[in-house]
Amino acid sequence: MRMAAHAPRGNPGILQRLVLGQTLRRWAGAELFLLGIFLLAELFSSMWRLLALDAKIGDILLWVGAGLPAHAVEVLPVALLFAITMSLSELHSDGEFLAICSSGISLQSLGIPLLAMAAILGLGLRVAGDLVTVPASLLKENLYRRMTGQGKNTGSLSEMTILAGGGRFVYRIGYSDPETGRLENVDIAGKGEDGSLQFRVMASRAKWGGRCMGIFKCPRI
């Protein structure tokens, strides 16, 4: 008993890489599967209207491709949760999890690579939200309006929400005219480092001008 009490703890390195590899493969498969469902559902729901308006196939494919970043961000948490759950469930169902715990390797040490992967993905989503997702969503909106003949003269947009500063600033705009810089039904909220609401500005009309954080322009109310 005394020798068993002082037995060295197992090395989790090999098992950590095994679980991480299984999780990455399942996450990639789940991401592609869910992303395909989202894109096909959106395409089939709008295909009849775009074809009726004689939209070009190239424009339709570009419109579908512009929606990839936003949909990828939407399905990523669900796909990651599915992959982690399936990997740990397989270890438990095969009896391998009991053997792992018996060797002195805890669940906390086994899940360190998974936590690191989740943290890296979270930081990547925070950066990609401002640099990729928002511009791609605007491109998609402009393509759809051009193919359907909406907003040909002014390029105006309605019901638009923009996240800036990694989610610290939220702009909600009921109507915007990029050519004149006119905004209507503006709602601006700013959050602190802890996520608490620091300020909120609401106005029925505003003017688009100036700059916020060197990236997004600020409305002048």
* 0.95 surpassed by pTM: no
Say whether 47 sits in a helix, a strand or coil. Answer: helix
Question: How large is the average pLDDT for residues 99-124?
Answer: 78
| Average confidence (pLDDT) over 59-66 | 83
Q: Which residues pair with 190 in a beta bridge?
A: 169, 199
Mean pLDDT of all residues in 99-125 = 78
pLDDT in tens, 161-172: 777 776 788 878
Confidence category of residue 67, pLDDT binned at 50, 70, 90? confident
Q: Using CA atoms, how far apart are residues 51 and 46, in angstroms rounded to an integer?
A: 9
For residues 101 and 124, give the distance between their C-alpha atoms in angstroms, rounded to a whole number.
Answer: 33
Where residue 11 falls among pLDDT bands split at 50, 70, 90? low
User: Would you state the structure tokens that stand for residue 186, as one six-digit string?
Assistant: 């503006």
Within 10 angstroms of residue 3's Cβ, the number of other Cβ atoms is 6
217: part of which helix (H) or strand (E)? strand 216-220
SS (HEC) of 173-211: EEEEECCCCEEEEEEEEEECCCCCEEEEEEEEEEEEEEE
